Amino acid sequence: MNNQKNEAADFKPYVPADKVLPEITVTSVILGVILAVVFGAANAYLGLRVGMTVSASIPAAVISMGIIRRVLKRDSILENNMVQTIGSAGESLAAGAIFTLPAIFMWAQESSEVKAPSFLAITLIALAGGLLGVFFMVPLRTALIVEEHGVLPFPEGFACAEVLLAGEEGGDKSKTVFSGLGIAAVYKFIADGICLFPSEIHWEIPALRTGFGADVLPALAGVGYICGRKISSYMFAGGILGWFVLIPLLSLFGGDAIMAPASDPISSLDSFGIWSSYIRYIGAGAVAAGGIISLIKSLPTIVQTFYKAMQGFGHKSSEITRTSRDLPMPAVLGGVLVLILMIWIMPAIPVSLIGAVIIVVFGFFFAAVSSRMVGLVGSSNNPVSGMAIATLLIATSLLKATGHTGVAGMTSAICIGTIICIVSAMAGDMSQDLKTGYIVGATPVKQQYGEIIGSVAAAIAIGGIMYLLNSAWGYGSAELPAPQATLMKLVVEGVMGGTLPWALVFTGIGIAIVIEVLGLPILPVAIGLYLPIHLSTPIFAGGMVRWFLEKRNAGKDRLEHGTLFSSGLIAGEGLVGILLAVFAVIPAGSGSLGDVINLGGPLGNIGGLLFFIVIIISLFFFTRIRKDQ
């Protein structure tokens, strides 16, 4: 413990505390807000497509360096850091919103009694969650970022700091991100814009009574590369369990039986039908159990975090330097109080006083958990969905017990879950940003102002993005399956109305327990079981590229360029996905503009597979052409 304290005390940031450089400038705010909206939109599409989002901090930092250093000819590492701080807020807020709110849209599609949330409601809910995440993180900063420096690794925070420090020697890395962005944008437009080949390829395998396929999209390969071999392998293992174990078993023994929740005989269903009717409920149980088990295992960490946070409330430093200044605690507490009153009083937010209290208690609780977790395992492995599921189980049970049932109760539960999900995502992202700032020598209070700016911008934009995507394809469709939101919807319906097929859910819980007994990480396997194998297959391919390069000792510089290129792949596909959504709602004759440019996939499955191989080759190329310095 003394060595840990000495390491924190001896640390010197890149920019000394007594040196002042530009941070919050007109340029950093405008560029940061643009990136917050852009990456928020891209991650919203990605999350609704595959149930995962990817941190925007590193690509935002690289793009910032490319523009500020190369185009504007300005040199300020703290200004670049402010851009990524503001920009990454959009990704976090979007993740919390799209993991939960689409459930209400899906209810509105199913019943005329439910109305989709208004643009104002989405904005206020997102804003409340984003600002609460910022405020709850303020008292945690000293305990987690400063006092445990050298103890908690904060992988994305350190990686982003390395990118910023490397930018001091030149911004060439931005070219790699833009290369990936351009390639993915063209690929996505060819696949899902003019539909030269299908972006999802599938083959039924009658001999095995199942099917197999892949969504041959660049973003998924990029996600796999960033996640690495282990996580992508665990996800693929979950897909194998669902599609090559459970589906064949149901096909073999089910025969002509009709089992709830399906309305057709098992023998008449193809592999997709069996997955939709049965396997996803088993996966839902596994994901829920995985989230709860992860939280139980982290209880010692949670207690320690709360202890340090409470110590920070009354801490008074005799010497406050530029690099140790936070938002004043009275302003933080006052802001929290105003937000809670807004949540309770505003008619646009259907949350009662009980719901507001739940948000306060569980919001700070999960902000502490999220910040600690990303410090240990990184943002990509942060079990935000598990926290949201636990929140919904508790919130829905309390609402039902107090008489808040039916449509109103379910809508309120989703709104509570949304705010807490955004709080968790924002706190995790902000802790990484604060770690980056701590290393490079940023001013914490200015970063906190930057997070507020990014939250406001992203909250205003997310409503329009969600309405655009829903109008184009509809949540729960093949184009936008919204897996996380569908899971949240099932949880609330199951607790409130008793419609959840508990036998299947408990089967998933049993599988999760077996995975835990075997010593494997539950959530990646459970997510692979819950999602179609078509999503985990290309992610696994990307992870195998990373594994191959690591085995060949490709070097840190090459692997880093692969990460930057993969970030560009994700951003490019997400941005064109938004563009295609616009095309899908623009009228053109009897259909839409999207219908006019649709070629109908003449190249077929083989064409899709060949084009995806080209993406894999490009990932090798943009990684291996970079040589260690």
CB 510 within 8 A of CB 504: no
3-state secondary structure of 587: strand
pLDDT more than 90, % of the chain:
20
Which domain range does residue 166 map to? 2-181+287-314+325-496
Instruction: Mean pLDDT check: name the lowest of 189-203, 229-243, 553-567.
Output: 553-567
Residue 206 lies in a domain: no
> DSSP state, 152?
B
Alpha carbon 616 to its chain centroid, in Å, reads: 23
Higher pLDDT: 461 or 142? It is 461
How much is the average pLDDT of 537-549? 91
How much is the average pLDDT of 502-520? 89
Report the C-alpha gap between 173 and 194 in whole angstroms: 31
Predicted confidence (pLDDT) per residue in 40-53, tens digit: 887 788 778 766 67
Report the C-alpha gap between 104 and 354 in whole angstroms: 20
Q: How buried is 2 (Cβ within 10 angstroms: 0-12 exposed, 13-18 middle, 19+ buried)? A: exposed
Predicted confidence (pLDDT) per residue in 349-367, tens digit: 888 888 888 888 888 877 8
Quote the mean pLDDT of the chain. Answer: 81
Question: Which pLDDT belongs to residue 4?
Answer: 47
DSSP for 423-482, written as a single string: HHHHHHHHHHHHHHHHHHT--HHHHHHHHHHHHHHHHHHHHHHHHHHHHHT-TTSSS---
How much is the average pLDDT of 126-145? 88
CB 137 within 8 A of CB 374: no
- Number of separate domains in the chain: 1
pTM of the model: 0.73
Distances in Å between the Cα of 577 and the Cα atoms of 193, 458, 468, 502, 583 are 9, 18, 11, 36, 10
Instruction: Mean pLDDT check: name the lowest of 275-279, 369-373, 414-418, 488-492.
Output: 369-373
3-state secondary structure of 309: helix
At residue 211, φ and ψ (nearest 5 deg) are: -145, 170
| pLDDT for 1 beyond 50 | no
Higher pLDDT: 247 or 557? It is 247
| pLDDT for 430 beyond 80 | yes
pLDDT band at 335 (very low <50, low <70, confident <90, very high): very high
Question: Which pLDDT belongs to residue 239?
Answer: 92
Higher pLDDT: 495 or 294? It is 495
Residue 29 lies in a domain: yes
Predicted confidence (pLDDT) per residue in 269-319, tens digit: 888 888 878 887 888 788 778 767 766 776 675 566 556 555 555 555 445
Give every CB contact of residue 1 below 8 A, 6+ residues apart in sequence: none
| Closest of 83, 63, 185, 226 to residue 560, by C-alpha | 226
Residue 167 lies in a domain: yes
DSSP for 391-427, written as a single string: HHHHHHHHHHHTT--HHHHHHHHHHHHHHHHHHHHHH
Report the C-alpha gap between 507 and 524 in whole angstroms: 17
Residue 114 lies in a domain: yes
Question: Which pLDDT belongs to residue 596?
Answer: 59
Please state, as a whole number, how many other Cβ atoms lie within 10 Å of the Cβ of residue 330. Answer: 8
Q: What is the dihedral of CA 373, 378, 383, 385, to 10 degrees?
A: 130
Residue 506 lies in a domain: no
DSSP for 227-250, written as a single string: HHHHHHHHHHHHHHHIIIIIHHHH
pLDDT band at 557 (very low <50, low <70, confident <90, very high): low
| pLDDT for 33 beyond 90 | yes
pLDDT more than 70, % of the chain:
83
Residues facing 592 on adjacent strands: 587
Please state, as a whole number, how many other Cβ atoms lie within 10 Å of the Cβ of residue 586. Answer: 12
Residue 588 lies in a domain: no
| pLDDT for 463 beyond 50 | yes
pLDDT band at 372 (very low <50, low <70, confident <90, very high): confident
Predicted confidence (pLDDT) per residue in 568-622, tens digit: 787 788 778 767 766 765 665 555 555 656 677 788 889 889 999 999 998 888 7
Question: Which pLDDT belongs to residue 192?
Answer: 83
| Closest of 194, 220, 193 to residue 47, by C-alpha | 220
Alpha carbon 286 to its chain centroid, in Å, reads: 19
Residue 365 lies in a domain: yes
Q: Output the CA angle 425-429-430, nearest 5 degrees.
A: 115
Q: Output the CA angle 124-448-415, nearest 5 degrees.
A: 25
Distances in Å between the Cα of 431 and the Cα atoms of 89, 143, 238, 521, 568 are 11, 11, 30, 23, 23
How much is the average pLDDT of 174-197? 85
Residue 626 lies in a domain: no
CB 446 within 8 A of CB 23: yes
Question: Which pLDDT belongs to residue 489?
Answer: 86
Containing 496, the helix (H) or strand (E) segment is: helix 483-497
> DSSP state, 124?
H
| pLDDT for 26 beyond 70 | yes
